[in-house]
Amino acid sequence: MYQWAVAPFEPFERIGLFGVALFAICAALRLARFNVQITTVEKKAFNGLPTPGGALMLAATVPFFKDVGLSVETWRPFLLVMIYCVGLLMVSNVKYSSFKEMDVLKKKPFHALVLVILILILIATRPEMMIFTLISLYVLSGPLALLYCAVFRPKGKEVCEEKDTGRTD
């Protein structure tokens, strides 16, 4: 991301270098937190954006821009903001689905299989665009769920419930 979007444009070089360094530091902290909390955190959700999701978000951006024909020069400020946001989401307390305990797989395995096949067909039609779109939806799912809970405060919604792990962090 640094070589492709940031380094070629001198005014953003230092800000971009700090951004990619921040991303790497946040990834290391995220992995350390995951290893420390593995026994105390629920399995349904990750605490913060998983590192592979953050890395895939940045990696999928390059082929997406080339496929769609977007100009890096025009979108450079957005790309810098994206690097910072993705890095900070990894060390945030925003909840992300882990897909480990999906009820759909247990209750309706045929429907889940059909859904997986449809997603694979979508990815095969335009891989660069679809991988970027799917990972973008996942990255945005955490902050959007948090915003939904803050605005509507629904009672009984699993996505909005805070699980007490007995930790005071």
**Identity of residue 75:** W
Q: Are 28 and 47 in contact (CB under 8 A)?
A: no
Identify whether 128 is part of a domain. Answer: yes
Identify whether 6 is part of a domain. Answer: yes
Domain span at 123? 2-155
Identify whether 129 is part of a domain. Answer: yes
pLDDT surpasses 60 at 159: no
Identify whether 169 is part of a domain. Answer: no
Identify whether 133 is part of a domain. Answer: yes
Identify whether 31 is part of a domain. Answer: yes
Predicted structure pTM score: 0.82
**Domain tally, the chain:** 1
pLDDT confidence bin for 83, thresholds 50/70/90: very high
For 88-136, write each residue's pLDDT tens digit.
Answer: 999 999 999 887 766 656 677 787 788 889 999 989 999 999 999 999 9
Buried b (16+ CB within 10 A) or exposed e, 107-120: eeeeeeeeeeeeee
Residue with tokens 């990750």: 46
